[in-house]
A = this chain, B = another copy of it.
Amino acid sequence: MAKQERYQNRIELLQGTLDMLILQTLSWGAQHGYGIGLAIRSGSGDVLQVETGSLYPALHRLEKQGWIKSEWRNSEHNQRAKYYQLTAAGKKQLLSEYSRWSRMSAAIAGLMNPGESEGQA
């Protein structure tokens, strides 16, 4: 590799959180893949965005795990779309992933803001 090319993969999500975000979106009701992507994007104020090349493989993965199940229907726009909904196992999984996320993000926040209880203001 003559050129090192410093070729940052732009990652628009925190890795490991996509599954949780999909499950959370579905906890508001059945939805198709395209709609899930839009919901995550708009629900985060355009901060988080999922590329289709990440989204669809993730949906297939989650379905294979039994956390979501799908059904072909017609969308609002009269297009064929695969609607997903949470299974009971998926609800459990969502709780579990959220718990892990909470624990870890709190730990990181603690490391990044040490002495937060010191009330230095």
A interface residues, Cβ below 8 angstroms from B: 11, 13-17, 20-21, 24-25, 40, 43-45, 47-48, 98, 101, 103-112, 114
Contact = CB atoms under 8 A, between A and B. Distances in A.
Identical copies in the complex? 2
13 contacts: A14-B17, A14-B108, A15-B16, A17-B108, A24-B111, A43-B114, A44-B110, A45-B107, A47-B103, A98-B112, A101-B108, A105-B105, A105-B109
A8 B15 CA distance: 15
B107 A44 contact: yes
Contacts of A107: 44-45, 47-48
4 smallest beta-carbon distances between A and B, as pairs: A15-B15, A47-B107, A44-B107, A43-B111
